[in-house]
Amino acid sequence: MSMLRPGGALATRPLHFIWIADCSSSMSGAKIQALNFAIRDAIPHMQRVAAENVNAQVFVRAIAFGSRAAWHVADPTPAETFQWFDLEPNGMTAMGAALTLLAEALDIEKMGTRALPPVLVLVTDGQPTDDFQAGLRKLMHQGWAKKAVRLAIAIGEDAQYEPLVAFTGNPEMVMSVSAPEQMMGYVKWVSTVAVQSASNPASQMAMTGSGNVAIPAPPAMVAGPVSENAVW
């Protein structure tokens, strides 16, 4: 995979940003619409941050999980050309399978040793219906997963927090949303602030480095006036 910036200049470090998005049947309607809209809306903001970043070239991918887990955007795509294709809800919540797929992508042979810590964002409205713990163990066996900026967005009151805290390793990095405005705010935040934090000079450590990326706590997102039907 080429690590060249547009125009041919060599990027200092690749930074991989990966969405892990729930598209189970419970996401049908307003939730999946809000998630699709929020990610599309955040793309220009991520592109601006990536363009201003002299320390890294940002590559974006996405895993979707419903009845099964699969790559939604399989190829590491430069942020400046990334496009979002709407998710379609289906089936159960194969979150464990999604983490297994993610673990395979973070293997040292695929990631190399020069990359910056990846940014991994898990978005879900429910609880796993498969073996989440097995997937999490496979993920955390990977060195790049341990060094990653791991964030989670919990959609609605039915989202189970225990798996999300286990994924992030820090309850402060689990963001709760109950309305589209909050979704947009947090998706934009993870698309910009998390990328900036992962690519700052202090994070430019190869796999021989130690410790996790310092990232500010997510801000409180207060939902604006919304109709009763729009609140999850």
- How would you classify the pairing of strands 69-78 and 174-177? unpaired
Domains annotated for the chain, with CATH where assigned, are 21-207 (3.40.50.410)
CA–CA dist 27, 31 (Å, integer):
5
Task: State residue 231's pLDDT score.
Answer: 64
Give the residue from 110, 33, 22, 119 showing the smallest Cα distance to 72.
Answer: 22
pLDDT 10s digit of each residue in the chain, 232 long? 444 444 444 447 899 999 999 999 999 999 999 999 999 999 999 999 999 988 899 999 999 999 999 999 999 999 999 999 999 999 999 999 999 999 999 998 888 888 999 999 999 998 999 999 999 999 999 999 999 999 999 999 889 999 999 999 999 999 999 999 999 999 999 999 999 988 875 554 443 333 467 788 898 886 554 445 456 7
CA–CA dist 142, 103 (Å, integer):
7
Q: Is 58 exposed, middle or buried (0-12, 13-18, 19+ CB in 10 A)?
A: buried
